[in-house]
Amino acid sequence: MRKRATAEINRLVRLHSAASEPGMASAQSPAAHQIYEYLHLAAILGANPAPILPRLEISAVEIQQAESMLFSLLRQQQKEPVPGRLTIFLGLNPGAQYGPAKCWPAESFAAVARAVSGRAENCLWLALGSAADESLCSGIARMAGGGVLNLAGKTSLRELMAVLKVCRVLLTNDSGSMHVAAALGTPVVVPFGSTASGLTGPGLPGDPRHRLLHGDAPCSPCFRRTCPIDLRCMTGITPGRVIDSVLQVLSQE
């Protein structure tokens, strides 16, 4: 996970611009997923190094409480679900603690929420995050034009787990919530830019339930907290690609 220097990033961008192939692949790291590093350490202590799917458990009571909380919030905001129809909960996690280089643009999250809401019947997006993400999630909810319930800063860790469990899919940056959702069995759709899904992707490498998306920026992954140029690794992942990925996951459920 070596961080790229600004000079190296600019050199890679210049080389990419001069290349004859417009879709030249980005410089993804060939290293193995970090799960194998930890398994190697465990094997030295005598443990079995065979990989198993990371798993978290949440009780039926906690799931019931989460659903009751969601419907109560809907009633308070006069967003009652359509009678007789099952509400489809979709998760949206636009923050990332490591830094803004990991974050897909807020307007892109909003565009996906708006488009999917228009095509998936009776669905509700749940914007998730810490109290520090409340303003970000509120802005996405406004841009989406409805259909988004802002839960940022309103859940404990266990409550967040229960909410993630009831979601059919989580659209998220590379973040802790991504790993928690995957360990709970919830499929994730993740735009990757400054980090590498091959190193730190959710669950076990190659899990077909998840959609891990990359652009063609030649400087990605750079492993930096902030982008020294124009965040092309993230802006190069279009809302259309993400919309298709979310709908693919929903069609498989």
Whether the per-residue pLDDT at 165 is higher than 50: the answer is yes
Q: Percent of the chain having pLDDT more than 70?
A: 91
Reported as a pLDDT band with limits 50, 70 and 90, residue 73 is confident
Q: Is the pLDDT of residue 208 over 60?
A: yes
- In sequence order, the 6+-apart residues with CB closer than 8 A to the CB of 238 are 108
* Sign of the dihedral through C-alpha 110, 111, 116, 122: positive
Count the alpha carbons within 13 Å of 102 in the hemisphere toward its beta carbon: 21
**Beta bridge partner(s), residue 89:** 124
Distance in angstroms (rounded) separating the CA atoms of residues 206 and 193: 18
CB count within 10 Å of CB 54 equals: 14
Q: Given this structure, which CATH class describes domain 60-252?
A: alpha beta
The amino acid at residue 185 is G
H/E stretch holding 6 reads helix 6-18
Give residue 107's pLDDT. Answer: 97
Q: Give 84-108 pLDDT, tens digit per residue.
A: 466 899 999 999 988 899 999 999 9
pLDDT tens digits, one per residue of 119-162: 988 899 999 999 999 999 999 999 998 889 999 999 999 999 99
Nearest-angstrom CA–CA distance, 199 and 253: 27
User: Which whole-number Å values give the CA distances from 187 to 26, 28, 31, 163, 171, in the listed order?
Assistant: 25, 23, 24, 13, 9
* HEC profile of 179-194: HHHHHHCCCEEEEECC
Concatenate the DSSP letters of all residues of 9-71 into one string: HHHHHHHHHHSS-TTPPP----PPPHHHHHHHHHHHTT-------------HHHHHHHHHHHH
Residue 22 identity (one-letter amino acid): P
pLDDT digits (tens, 9 = 90+) for 11-32: 888 888 776 444 444 445 556 8
Beta bridge partners of 211: 189
Quickly list H helices, 86-192. 106-119, 134-144, 157-166, 176-184
* The predicted structure's pLDDT at residue 146: 82
What value, to the nearest 5°, has the Cα angle with vertex 170 and ends 251 and 63? Answer: 95
| Phi, psi angles (nearest 5°) of residue 92 | -140, 115
State the chain's mean pLDDT as an integer.
90
Q: Per-domain residue ranges for the chain? A: 60-252
